[in-house]
């Protein structure tokens, strides 16, 4: 396996502003209308484990869904893993109800 090192021309900037929790909990959601797919369809490379559903958080499902293009990228990433390794996907797409419940959890 070959590891490619990347050098950046500029250092990562240090943010001095204080974190705005209210803004972080009110993200702007823009619907892209991309279909959702079951993220458990590639069990030989990706393990979908719906942990938030298992914890009983409202609005979650027993099936882990992701946007189709996100899932394609996850499969591509999983295929780059060494033999015997898998990605474990705990969460991906979230319903609006689940997002509201995370704030209260």
Q: What does the CA dihedral 80, 82, 83, 89 come to, rounded to 10 degrees?
A: -70
10 domain-assigned: no
85 domain-assigned: yes
Q: How far apart are CA 39 and CA 89, in angstroms?
A: 8
Counted domains in the chain: 1
Domain of residue 85 covers 34-104
pLDDT of residue 28: 74
Residue of higher predicted confidence among 101 and 58: 58
19 domain-assigned: no
Q: How far apart are CA 81 and CA 60, in angstroms?
A: 29
4 domain-assigned: no
Q: What is the pLDDT of residues 53-95, one digit of tens each?
A: 998 989 999 999 999 999 999 999 999 999 999 999 988 888 8
pLDDT of residue 85: 92
Q: What is the pLDDT of residues 11-55, one digit of tens each?
A: 777 878 787 777 777 767 778 899 999 988 887 889 988 988 998
| pTM for the full predicted model | 0.65
């Amino acid at each position: 396996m070959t590891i490619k090192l990347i050098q950046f021309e500029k250092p990562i900037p240090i943010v001095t502003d204080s974190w705005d929790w209210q803004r972080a909990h009110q993200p702007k959601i823009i619907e892209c209308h991309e279909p959702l797919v079951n993220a458990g369809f590639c069990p030989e490379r990706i393990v979908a484990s719906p942990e938030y559903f298992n914890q009983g958080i409202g609005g979650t499902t027993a099936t882990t869904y992701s946007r189709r293009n996100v899932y394609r990228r996850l499969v591509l990433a999983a295929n780059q893993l060494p033999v015997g390794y898998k990605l474990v996907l705990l969460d991906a797409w979230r319903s609006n109800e689940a997002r509201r419940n995370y704030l209260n959890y």
